[in-house]
Structures are given as structure tokens and as C-alpha cells.
């Protein structure tokens, strides 16, 4: 295992986020198995919340699916979230993530598109698309060009 993954494993063990992820997986009656790079994969998650097909808490990737293949884009995406948990210091990432999702929704009407955590984890790998800002937001940030020639001359 690469040093950075060993470090992520240790940091997320110490900050309690991996233990929290294992608890979430058990609450959702998911089956835990080892995954590459010090991760755990919890398959068959049964709770309705969160609605995402896969999510990550600490080094535990939780999914409703029967499997997420090693090397898949979705696994890479979720693994980046595991690294984000380490950088954020653990479960404090959850309120930060929710705030970022709220910001994204306010700007675009989509929880992932302008969410800094999803963008850094790879929008496309996570099944997200880059949505434009809402029309009202666009009107605020896009200036109309000044009219160069109004037909009158002011000096």
C-alpha cells in the first residue's frame, strides 16, 4: 500500500471517521469487506438516507449496490472522499459537505455540481454533471456589454 494511503488509513482511524462509517454500514445492514488502498466496501446498504447510490464516511465506502468494481470510476471518486475526510479532520467533513451541497443547490439547483467536495472528487466519476447557474444567478454575474454607440455623443 502506498504511503499516502497508509497515512489516510491512520488519520481516519484516529479521527474516528472510519469507525463512524463502519457504524453507518452496520445500521444499514450492509456487508463489510476489505477494498484496495486501505478502504472498506460496505455493500447492500438498506437505509433510505442518504439517497445517493454510494457514499463515503472515513475509509468506508457504503453502497446500495452488490459491488463496486475495483478500479472503477465510482470507486476512485469515493476513495477521493475518503482522502477528504482525512484532510477535514474526520466527521466535521459531514456538516462542511452539507453546507457545500446547499451552496451548490442554491446556485444551480443540483447538490453536486458546485459542491467543492464533489468537484474535487471528480464530478463525472461520481455521476454528476456540471450544471450552469440558475437564471437569476446568471443575471447577477453576467454583465451586459456597455453600449459603445448610443447614437448620441456626450462629451
- Cα–Cα distance measured from residue 86 to residue 90, given in angstroms and rounded to the nearest whole number: 6
CB 119 within 8 A of CB 97: no
Rounded Cα–Cα distance for residues 62 and 75 (Å): 10
Nearer to Zn ion, 90 or 126 (CB): 126
Q: Can you say whether the dihedral through the CA atoms of 93, 57, 55, 120 is positive or negative?
A: positive
Verify binding: residue 104, Zn ion, rule CB under 5 A: no
Stretch near Zn ion under the rule CB under 5 A, chosen from 5-13, 27-35, 87-95, 112-120? 112-120
CB-wise, 37 or 154, nearer to Zn ion?
37
Other CB atoms within 10 Å distance of the CB of residue 75: 22
Sole window of 18-26, 90-98, 120-128, 138-146 interacting with Zn ion (rule: CB under 5 A)? 120-128
CB of 149 to Zn ion, least distance (A): 49
List 21, 38, 90, 126, residue binding Zn ion (CB under 5 A):
126
- The residue ranges that bind Zn ion (CB under 5 A) are 118, 121, 126
Amino acid at each position: 500500500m502506498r504511503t499516502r494511503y497508509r497515512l489516510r488509513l491512520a488519520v481516519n482511524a484516529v479521527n474516528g471517521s472510519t469507525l463512524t462509517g463502519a457504524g453507518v454500514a452496520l445500521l444499514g445492514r450492509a456487508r463489510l469487506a476489505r477494498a484496495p488502498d486501505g478502504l472498506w466496501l460496505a455493500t447492500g446498504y438498506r437505509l433510505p438516507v442518504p439517497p445517493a447510490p454510494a457514499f463515503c464516511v472515513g475509509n468506508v465506502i457504503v453502497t446500495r449496490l452488490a459491488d463496486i468494481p475495483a478500479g472503477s470510476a465510482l470507486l476512485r471518486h469515493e476513495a477521493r472522499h475518503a482522502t477528504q475526510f482525512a484532510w477535514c479532520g474526520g466527521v466535521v467533513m459531514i456538516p462542511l459537505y452539507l453546507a457545500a451541497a446547499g451552496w451548490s443547490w442554491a446556485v444551480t439547483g443540483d447538490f453536486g455540481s458546485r459542491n467543492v467536495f464533489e468537484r474535487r472528487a471528480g464530478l463525472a466519476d461520481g455521476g454528476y454533471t456540471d450544471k450552469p447557474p440558475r437564471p437569476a444567478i446568471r443575471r447577477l454575474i453576467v454583465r451586459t456589454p456597455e453600449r459603445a454607440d448610443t447614437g448620441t455623443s456626450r462629451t
